[in-house]
Amino acid sequence: TRFQYCLKKLKKMIDSHCHLDHEPMYNDLKNIILRSKEAGIKKILSICTTKNSFKKIIEIIQFDSIIYGTYGIHPHETDIDKVSKKEIIENVASNKKIIAIGESGLDFYYNHSSKKQQISSFKSHIEASIDLNIPIIVHSRNAEKETFEILNIYNNFEPKILMHCFTGSTEFAFKLLSLNSYFSASGIITFKNNVDLQNTFKLIPSQNLLIETDSPYLSPVPFRGKKNEPSFIKYTLKKLSEIKNVNLEAIEKITNNNFNTLFNLN
């Protein structure tokens, strides 16, 4: 098919958000990375969520040159894993392949941690990202108003913001665009019933878009319901090319350039 033909020409895809420290990927890292390279992936960013996960990420980024990492505490974990701005900065500085802070943010859907502690942690992460001049990867669920209000406090410092696995409203997207935010599309954009989200991505400028798997979660169609992995990124890229009405190779180049610009990589 034309899709298979086009896929063969994709050689530089980037998975901007996955969790290689989570199973079943961690114990099958060799094959996961092999399949990623065969699919045409050039860079993978493995995201930190806890202090313990960072220990695995430091190990994982040494496994292959295409893997990069982050340091951050997920909003679910902020009651248990409390960190200061100083601690975040020190962990990022411990390895040159740690290129961003996060994922941090607010999750008022599950509320696994108190709202007060989530907000406090989020601010520490933002401030560390500003001090280091590197991106903060933001998780926001059922907290559009609060997420924007907090980020907007720091607007004069021009934080580098990446809204991971963006599923927010069009109104939220346009508010975030006023902060020069980037937005990452996940496999959720391939779900047929998510027309509103597809329409929001249609309106977000291409120069603000990245792609991700969030693997092992959120597998795109045709693997929905199964364990996700970075090599499936091509299905999200294909859907994004349809939404933006841009050919696959062009959207691959655009999302790559955006990633490399945001993370200051070649």
The strand ranges marked E within 72-185 are 98-107, 136-141, 161-163, 182-185
The set of long-range contacts for 119-123, using a CB threshold of 8 Å and a minimum separation of 24, is 119/146, 119/150, 120/78, 121/73, 121/75, 121/78, 121/82, 121/83, 122/75, 122/150, 123/150
pLDDT in tens, 138-169: 999 999 999 999 999 999 999 999 999 999 99
Tokens 């047929």 belong to 192
Q: How far is CA 82 from CA 22, 95, 122, 212, in A?
A: 21, 21, 11, 27
Q: Is the pLDDT of residue 266 over 80?
A: no
Give yes or no for a contact between 66 and 33, defined as CB atoms under 8 angstroms apart: yes
Q: How far is CA 257 from CA 54, 131, 207, 218, in A?
A: 27, 24, 8, 24
Contacts of 149 (CB under 8 A, 6+ apart): none
Q: Is the pLDDT of residue 3 over 80?
A: no
Q: Which residues are 183's β-sheet partners? A: 163, 209
Beta-carbon count within 10 A of 21 CB: 23
pLDDT in tens, 106-133: 999 988 999 999 999 999 999 999 999 9
d(CA 74, CA 103): 5
pLDDT in tens, 203-231: 999 999 999 999 999 999 999 999 999 99
Q: Is the pLDDT of residue 13 over 80?
A: yes
Sign of dihedral through CA atoms 11, 17, 21, 26? negative
d(CA 14, CA 39): 11
pLDDT in tens, 228-242: 999 999 999 999 999
Contacts of 155 (CB under 8 A, 6+ apart): 179
Give yes or no for a contact between 125 and 102, defined as CB atoms under 8 angstroms apart: yes
d(CA 11, CA 192): 27
